[in-house]
A = this chain, B = another copy of it.
Amino acid sequence: MSIPIALVGVGKIACDQHMPTIAASAHFHLAGAVSSHASDLSVPVRGDLTSLKSAVPDLAAIAVCTPPVDRLRLLKEAFSLGLHVLMEKPPAKTLAEAEMFAPAARNAGRTLLQSWHSRCAAAVEPMRRWLVGQTVRHVTINWLEDVRVWHPGQEWIWSPGVGVFDPGINALSILTEILPSDLSVRESLLSIPANRSAPIAASLMIEASAGHDVSVQFSFDQRGPQSWTIDIETATERATLLDGGSHWAIGGVEQPLEDDRPEYARLYDQFADLIANGESDVDLRPFRLVADAFFLGETKQAPNFLWDS
């Protein structure tokens, strides 16, 4: 039985990922959208969720694709209308707000998936399984990209608390998924351009309860080859997640993948499973690591950032 779902916010991520995934999904079909600007969608579009639910009474779920502003209010509105919710990352503008998500879902008896799409990359689950029983010695994360290429002219990316942590939190969502350890930021160095309010680069040292460290380099200023890798040295091997988790290698040899569908196909399958089982998945660990990186961060000033430099 296909679940009628609506998009809340019809921007880049909704168009690039959510719409094609829903269109191809066996579990969901697009039944409406909430958007403040005119739209040429073939489904009802309204300016707010309550109006949309009136127009589409059998609406059962939403995918929230707006920037993380007033998310708790939106979540409570959705639950009061009896809807299940898939929430895009990052969860909220503040930790205090995000910590109220899970209790709200429990009280409402609805499903909330606080999604981390990178966890659904094809090689993440194979890597997680492979690591079970391995002794990890060290982890190195390099998440190095050019913001001018990936977020051209998107000034919101420089909001406080965002910057290079917008892609960086994807790496941390994978890290918390594949390692069984408790993780804690020990050192954080943030480089903030003189003319912006968020970091263009960050170096973190994260301590794992299993006794090893995780060295993290995030950059938004990477020219030439881009890099989204997580390197794991175990007692006997060196395993690597490549290209944001879509491929992996052991000892430099690329490993086959049983399931090479795109991230969002797997994400929507997970959402359908949670709804079927009456469960939620709200894991705020990646968000807490980012908050701790700011909390502990030593800041240094970087040169002015220019979009066209």
Residues of A within 8 A of B (CB): 72, 93-97, 99-100, 160-161, 182-186, 188, 192, 197, 285, 288-292, 294-299
Contacts and interface: CB of A to CB of B under 8 A. Distances in A.
B197 A298 contact: yes
A96 B183 contact: yes
Contact of A93 (B72, B95, B288, B296): B296
A95 B95 CA distance: 10
Contacts of A298: 160, 197
Q: Is the interface of A mostly helix, strand, loop or mixed?
A: mixed
Pairs A-B, 7 closest by C-beta atoms: A94-B292, A294-B295, A161-B295, A294-B294, A291-B295, A96-B184, A291-B291
A51 B288 CA distance: 35
- How many copies of this chain does the complex contain? 2
Contacts of A294: 291, 294-295, 297
Contact of A292 (B96, B188, B296): B96
A10 to B, nearest CB: 26
13 contacts: A93-B184, A94-B185, A94-B295, A94-B296, A96-B185, A96-B285, A160-B188, A160-B295, A160-B297, A160-B298, A161-B296, A290-B295, A294-B297
A95 B291 contact: yes
A108 to B, nearest CB: 16
A95 B292 contact: yes
A182 B103 CA distance: 12
Between A185, A188, A290, A295, the greatest number of chain B beta carbons within 10 A of the residue's beta carbon is seen for: A295
A73 to B, nearest CB: 9
Contacts of A97: 184
Contacts of A99: 288
Contacts of A188: 160
Given A94-B185, A94-B295, A95-B295, 8 more contacts: A93-B186, A94-B184, A95-B288, A95-B292, A96-B184, A97-B184, A197-B298, A294-B295
